Amino acid sequence: MVKKIKTYLSKLKTKTLSFKLYFSIIFFLILFIFVFLNTYSSQTISPLYSSVVDEKYEAMIDFIQKIRSAPRFPFFLEINQKIYGRRLKDDVFAEESKKKQQIVELKTVLKKNPKARDVLLKLSYLYRELGDKKKADQYLNKAKAVDPLIK
């Protein structure tokens, strides 16, 4: 009977030892993965993020312009407008405003010369940049009518 108990205790110690060993291996493996991923991500974070965190105005404009298609864009714009003022919204949409102004100027030129091929092409390009494919195609077709060599 004593021999059976000793054998049982010996097996129990082995099982306990193996459990502790497995637990230690898994713990250090998880710790290693965490440290590796943390180090890797800290080295590859976009410099834009660092600039935004440092409250650099130009970086904030760049960031907001890059997320314009995101569903949370209005939220970020509103929050940062409270921090930087109305000027932020103007700067975020400055490029779009310039393109719209160019369109107005080119349409004025087009009234004087409706067959100006380069003006028609530029209008097509600007509308495509603004996302208005229908108008872009209209001006491209007009340019093709003036110059059939345009593809």
122 by DSSP, 3-state: which? Answer: helix
Average per-residue pLDDT for the chain: 81
97-135: pLDDT as tens digits: 999 999 999 999 999 998 888 999 999 999 999 889 999
The torsion angle over the Cα atoms of residues 101, 105, 108 and 113, rounded to 10 degrees, is -140
58-86: pLDDT as tens digits: 888 888 888 888 898 898 889 888 888 88
From the centroid of its chain, how far is CA 120? 32
Question: Where are the chain's structural domains?
Answer: 1-44, 47-92, 94-146
Residues of the chain above pLDDT 90, percent: 25
pTM of the entire structure? 0.56
Q: Are 127 and 139 in contact (CB under 8 A)?
A: yes
Residue 92 neighbours by CB distance under 10 Å: 23
- Spell 8-34 as b/e; 16+ CB within 10 A means b: eeeeeeeeeeeeeeeeeeeeeeeeeee
Phi then psi dihedrals of residue 76, to 5 deg: -65, -40
